[in-house]
Amino acid sequence: MSGDFRNNSTAKKHLLESYKLMLDFYGIELCDGETGEVRRAQHWQDRFNNLNSHTHNSLRITRILKCLGNLGYPHYQAPLVHFFLEETLVNGHLPSIRDSVLSYFIFAVLDKSQRRNLIKYAYMNYEPKDEFVWCPKKIQMLWSRAVQTEKGGGS
């Protein structure tokens, strides 16, 4: 059934229009239709306040991510999740949805390599590092050693 959807240009067009509408509702805009890159919309502060105070939207975002992956837009998944990781872990604008981003959004991404890169990005920006539970400790140690080596701290 999803193959039929992916081959229907009208259905895909409508899905993309709905995606843009939902992004706008969350204070986000699609800047590149080819790559799926997103950024904050002009009205992001009000919408982010809504996301922080109405965490039920996290379930909707997880469904949107799964839908994108299954219905022909899997390349849109990782950019959206990366955006949420940056806004939660780096910028601190969405603290109420941080756990959903880490526990659900990342794992909705179908591409294993992209998912791994998102987990690594999350780990590198997560504090305190010893409380990071979204990948094995041995992987975390490898990533930490690689950073130390890059900074000249390793031998």
Q: What is the Cα–Cα distance from 52 to 150, expressed in whole angstroms?
A: 36
Give the confidence band of 135 by pLDDT, cuts at 50, 70, 90: very high
Express each pLDDT in 93-117 by its tens digit: 999 999 999 999 999 999 999 999 9
Express each pLDDT in 36-63 by its tens digit: 999 999 999 999 999 999 988 999 999 9
pTM across the whole model = 0.92
pLDDT score at 153: 57
Q: What is the Cα–Cα distance from 26 to 22, expressed in whole angstroms?
A: 6
Q: Number of helices and strands (H, E) in the chain?
A: 9, 2
Neighbours of 82 (CB within 10 A): 21
| 99 Cβ neighbours under 8 A, 6+ residues apart | none
pLDDT score at 5: 82
For 154, phi and psi rounded to 5 degrees?
-105, 170
Express each pLDDT in 2-48 by its tens digit: 668 878 889 989 999 999 999 999 999 999 999 999 999 999 999 99
